[in-house]
Amino acid sequence: MPTHALTQQNFDQAVARSPIVLVDFWADWCGWCTRFAPIYEESSNQHPEILHGTVDTEAQQALAAAAQITSLPTLLGFREGLLVYTKLGFQTAAELEDAVQTIQWMDMDAVRREHAAQNPGSVNAPGSEQPAPARHAGLAGGPIRYGWPGLKVR
């Protein structure tokens, strides 16, 4: 599946609708970004169940500022609408695959509890007036390549 260009207009909707979203913030002038692009594209082909989004920081300056992007490339990972992964700088294919597996195998109940504890009054926080988003229990969808993040079958 090809990568999807994300803008200020479609970013929130993309994060809310897809169980897992990876977002690569990049710029044409960034050499490491151009080296990472084919690795990221290959990941999108290997994991069609994950939305692989891209944000051109030159064209989407307000979105990059809102995401507090200070270094390129920057990869953000969202699961069930929550930011669960941030990595500044270039990643190899193996590092990106480890990130994908880590995000897929996260205990989202624990993540939500931690998020609620750190953000009182937010969605999912005890006593919150806001309804909780729909939950997807268990392992995120997609092919399982190995049992635990970092454990590779030869």
Instruction: Say what the pLDDT of residue 37 is.
Output: 97
Architecture of domain 4-118: 3-Layer(aba) Sandwich (3.40)
Per residue in 85-139, pLDDT (tens digit) is 999 999 999 999 999 999 999 999 999 999 889 888 765 433 334 444 444 444 5
CA distance 73 to 32: 7
97 tagged catalytic: no
Structure tokens at 49: 């169940």
Instruction: Say what the pLDDT of residue 153 is.
Output: 44
The pTM of this model reads: 0.78
Share of the chain above pLDDT 70, in %: 79
Bridge partners (DSSP) of residue 56 are 26
Catalytic residue from among 20, 21, 23, 30? 30
Q: What average pLDDT does this structure show over 46-65?
A: 97
Q: Please check whether residue 69 is in contact with residue 121, taking contact to mean a CB–CB distance below 8 angstroms.
A: no
CA distance 140 to 107: 10
Catalytic residue from among 20, 21, 22, 33? 33
Mean residue pLDDT across the chain: 85
What is the pairing mode between strands 74-79 and 20-26?
Answer: antiparallel
CA distance 48 to 151: 22
41 tagged catalytic: no
